[in-house]
Structure 1
Amino acid sequence: MSNLTYRYTGPLPLGSVVAHYCGAAGLTTTKGAPVWRLEGLGAEEGYTLTVYHNDVPVAVFKGALSNEGRLEIGGQLLKLIRTTQGRPALGEWGTLVGVRPTKMFHKLWDIDENSDTPPAAEPSNPDEPGTVINGCDTAVQVLRKRFDVSEPKIELLKAVATLQRPFVAPHETADREVSVYGGIPFCQTHCTYCSFPYGLIQDYRRIPEFLGAFVNDATQLKGLIETYGLQVATVYMGGGTPTSLGDEDFATALAALAKLHRENSEFTVEAGRPDSVTPHKLATMAKLGVNRISINPQSMHDDILKAVGRGHTAAAIKELYAYVRSYTNFAVNMDFIAGLPYQTLSHMEENLDYVCQARPENVTIHTLALKRGSPLYDGVGREAMPEAAAVEEMVARSKERLEAAGYVPYYVYRQQYMTSQTENIGYTLPGYICEYNIRIMEERQSILSVGPGSSSKWMRAPEYRQLQQHMPKDVSVYIDTLSALLEKRSRLCKKFWEG
């Protein structure tokens, strides 16, 4: 896998598109000598991209000085890289890149419901589809003809968009409905595939100050919710690993978020690692109204868990799950990753054996993505990662077995630098959709956040353009600048809801 590197020089707009398409082919940037060297130029007559492979010029691609021209070059580059790798020129997603492919479906659906005279246009960017018209049928045609997406992936997107529609269709009260995210940025160990954690909780010396800031943050947000007459649809506590906090500290943070929770609505906590979950924390969750948790094995194999830095065993996952089933009424999500170091199809089959026996309400199958800043991205363990074809088989087999067991896909997203051109799919048993996952993926509801590293996004139909605020990832900066951060959030709320 270490030969999958590139370096780009040239205009930034073209470079942004090149990064997406290189990521779709499994390439990452490098500070050393790259296998692929890409030199871009922009002039009045258009863009030019010269491609070198092992310092040998192999292609020159040209496109108009527009987003369409950049996408055309990106598609040609993707085909070249894949064929050089010995793979078909296009995978099942064709030349479609971008994190949220279902956004196109919903944008088309909106316009079809509100217009009898659809103008003919095509999207220029899959994450910002622009003015494309005529509902689901047009979306299918655009995916098929413009992006060369395969029929199975088109059917997947149709099924997911149809299931999501009641949650995302515009309606009269949507403007005052929000979700709340609370971020706890700490973990007990650093998984090799992850770039998220601020740091290890045992190394941070200002936990009491962090908790005070978190509570003040949530309290101020509660006031804003009341001031603007907002209805909280879902609350989600994520991380990091929220349960890495000690019992009493966890109770303090969760109680602050619980004050934002509306009775009988969704309230989720990521309890991803069994080595961080205690009976006391589970009792606290139940007392404060939590009704969903995530228990995230990633793998049911101890050697793989150790290789990626997880601090628990497969047996501990089974013990925690059995305890939750015996002593709580929580709906449970489980995450698994396809493409981990040393993983084979047999490993994934054994993961699925456990899922089909345990039957958690939700299961998410992630394709490993090389995240910038993670140890894997920097090369630690990459030589043991399975090839793209093997990962694709794991993902396909997961879909086949989960659907046979009664699960249906309800959200789908993709990431840059995936180890194969596949996707992440959230599956649910009928009647157990996690609404927050739809909200965060489709970006059609305002999400207000609490905690370091979290992001607030204000959304409104029909454009769903965003006002945004990103809290500092550095916990100490968050603590020390909280007053200014809360003043900014107040101003953004006033601008959005009062104009």
Structure 2
Amino acid sequence: MIQVTLVGHEFQYEIEHLLRAFFPQARFNFSTVTSADQDMQVISMWKDDRFYAKVEVEDQTYVKEHKEHITITKEMDRRKIAKRLLKKVLYEALVAYTKKPLPWGILTGIRPTKIVQEALEEGRSEKDITKELLETFHIQQDKIDLMLAVAKAEKQILDKNKVGEISIYIGIPFCPTRCVYCSFTSYPILQWKDQVDKYIDALIKEIKAFHDFYEQTPIRSVYIGGGTPTSLDETQLQRLLDAVNMYIPMESVEEWTIEAGRPDTITLEKLQMMKEAGVGRISINPQTMQNKTLEVIGRQHTVDDIIQAFYMAKEVGFHCINMDLIVGLPGENIDDVKETWNQLSLLKPDNITIHTMAIKRASYLHRNQEKYHMMDTNEVEEILAFIEEQAKFMGLEPYYLYRQKNMVGNFENVGYALLGKECIYNVEIMEEKQTILAFGAGAATKIVDLSTNAIQRIENVKDVQHYIERTEEMIQRKNSVKNRIFQVNRKN
């Protein structure tokens, strides 16, 4: 247990996340009272227009004082500056103590490119942005290059947003099984088979309730995710596809994606149904091309099933297929991941999304880490560099970037795509430049006001049974903010 004393600020959340990046296996106890058994003390204060911070790690002391004149116009600005500078001082102290810099420096948020997007919108040069990211955020140069590349790719997509335009998310929370690393609210479909039709009834009711709203609002993308949407049987999937086409004006939608996900849920009939309905982009997500690992993580299919599903989708006529790969799966080493990449490269998917293993607290893996060998930080760093190089060789460029808590090595997730095959919805949901209307258990609607950068969330209940029983309440939650969405969209 690491004892941490906080003095003069209320940044425990931010401090804890930065500490966890350095000490992922440690437990922390925070206090605001100095004690003899403390391992670390983090102090901050304002002296007129100067910010003072001090970090003590065991017997070492690291002191930093911000000496520039700072004009504070809002209390929010004061808090933002204090938080950033305090994290900077803490980071520098921890690097001096551990001798291990982090690739993303003081950044702990999930949307690193937002900083670059905002700076570019202010008209700042790449040179100026790079300097700040290096000196203030302590981000490594290769990650800065990645941020700039992704931000420019995203801009090509975001610049095409029309006034008042929104996107739609539809959630299917069922999966064939739950993988050992998963913490999402997903339900093994065989255990819930008696509730699936009721869930589809409720979902269609919720989608239908906003039929008049769609007629007045341009829709750019529709994304059906999960879970595994193709864990629905053919009849259930057809009902959902028909409802989308019946109640949403799909003729004007630029992109319609369905996460087909698990190969053992994909059939020729389902692929044909999706294609005929107008779906243009699907995901087939192997995570690995190692049969031994598929068994370890709880998948009930083989590598051959993945390959068969991919070619079947191509034969049906899908010309935008994403495949997900996880780096750092339990039991795998560098050679395993390279072999997986080599097999994916032979398939030549249009998108490949690379996830760095995140050990989530609600997962089976987190509760049973001692059972598995996991790749270390250096191995993950080596394989991510290999993938970046190989992706470029295949003509795949990074367009989508986000991070998660508890990632191995404090790295990142990156979406690579052929030019023109980028996923619009991924960029919209990550950069929060467009309102997302969301349906289904656990789905979260986000109302984005670009004039103030304010985001309002309206969340559906996560539990499937509660969602079925309270569908009308979920509808009313969004109905209550319809006028708000119209008002915001007229400004966006």
TM-score interval w.r.t. the shorter chain?
0.7 to 0.9
Q: Take 1:246 and 1:38, find their aligned partners in 2: how far apart are those partners?
A: 55
Correspondent of 1:238 among 216, 225, 235: 225
How many Å apart are 1:338 and its aligned residue? 0.6
The aligned counterpart of 2:11 is: 14
59-68 vs 450-459, which deviates more? 59-68
Note the 1:402-417 alignment, pairs <5 A.
402-417=391-406
Contact 2:55 2:89 in 1 (8 A): no
Q: Take 1:59 and 1:379, find their aligned partners in 2: how far apart are those partners?
A: 37
Instruction: Tell whether 2:204 aligns with 1:193.
Output: no
Q: Take 2:442 and 2:233, find their aligned partners in 1: how far apart are those partners?
A: 20
Identity %: 30
**One-letter amino acid of the counterpart of residue 475, structure 2:** L
Q: CA RMSD in A?
A: 2.8
Contact 1:22 1:28 in 2 (8 A): no
**What's the TM-score, normalizing by structure 1?**
0.84
Deviations 1:243-293 (A, max 9, x none): 111111122123223342522621100011111111121111011100110
SS state at 1:324 partner: helix
The aligned counterpart of 2:102 is: 91
User: In structure 2, do the counterparts of structure 1 residues 30 and 218 end up closer, same or farther at CA, with 3 Å as the change threshold?
Assistant: farther
The aligned counterpart of 2:72 is: none
The aligned counterpart of 1:182 is: 170
**One-letter amino acid of the counterpart of residue 342, structure 1:** G
Q: Take 1:28 and 1:465, find their aligned partners in 2: how far apart are those partners?
A: 35
Instruction: Tell whether 2:395 aligns with 1:375.
Output: no
User: In structure 2, do the counterparts of structure 1 residues 337 and 82 end up closer, same or farther at CA, with 3 Å as the change threshold?
Assistant: farther
User: In structure 2, do the counterparts of structure 1 residues 222 and 147 end up closer, same or farther at CA, with 3 Å as the change threshold?
Assistant: same
The aligned counterpart of 1:257 is: 244
Q: Take 1:80 and 1:384, find their aligned partners in 2: how far apart are those partners?
A: 31
Instruction: Tell whether 2:24 aligns with 1:27.
Output: yes
How many Å apart are 1:20 and its aligned residue? 2.4
User: In structure 2, do the counterparts of structure 1 residues 429 and 84 end up closer, same or farther at CA, with 3 Å as the change threshold?
Assistant: same
Correspondent of 2:137 among 135, 144, 147: 147
**One-letter amino acid of the counterpart of residue 230, structure 2:** T
Instruction: Tell whether 2:221 aligns with 1:221.
Output: no
**One-letter amino acid of the counterpart of residue 255, structure 1:** D
Deviations 1:200-258 (A, max 9, x none): 111123222211110011111332222xx211100100001111111111221232233
Deviations 1:103-151 (A, max 9, x none): 1122122232xxxxxxxxxxxxxxxxxxxxx354442232122112222
Q: Take 2:166 and 2:392, find their aligned partners in 1: how far apart are those partners?
A: 31
Deviations 1:28-81 (A, max 9, x none): 57599xxx97677888988877667xxxx7768889994444444434544565
The aligned counterpart of 1:127 is: none
The aligned counterpart of 1:390 is: 379
**What's the TM-score, normalizing by structure 2?**
0.85
User: In structure 2, do the counterparts of structure 1 residues 302 and 256 end up closer, same or farther at CA, with 3 Å as the change threshold?
Assistant: same
Q: Take 1:37 and 1:206, find their aligned partners in 2: how far apart are those partners?
A: 51
User: In structure 2, do the counterparts of structure 1 residues 317 and 37 end up closer, same or farther at CA, with 3 Å as the change threshold?
Assistant: farther
The aligned counterpart of 2:158 is: 168
Instruction: Tell whether 2:372 aligns with 1:359.
Output: no
Q: Take 2:237 and 2:10, find their aligned partners in 1: how far apart are those partners?
A: 44
Note the 1:66-465 alignment, pairs <5 A.
66-78=79-91, 88-112=99-123, 134=124, 136-169=126-159, 173-174=162-163, 176-204=164-192, 205-226=194-215, 229-259=216-246, 260=248, 262-263=250-251, 265-380=254-369, 383-465=372-454
Q: Take 2:346 and 2:82, find their aligned partners in 1: how far apart are those partners?
A: 50
The aligned counterpart of 2:70 is: none
Contact 2:174 2:186 in 1 (8 A): yes
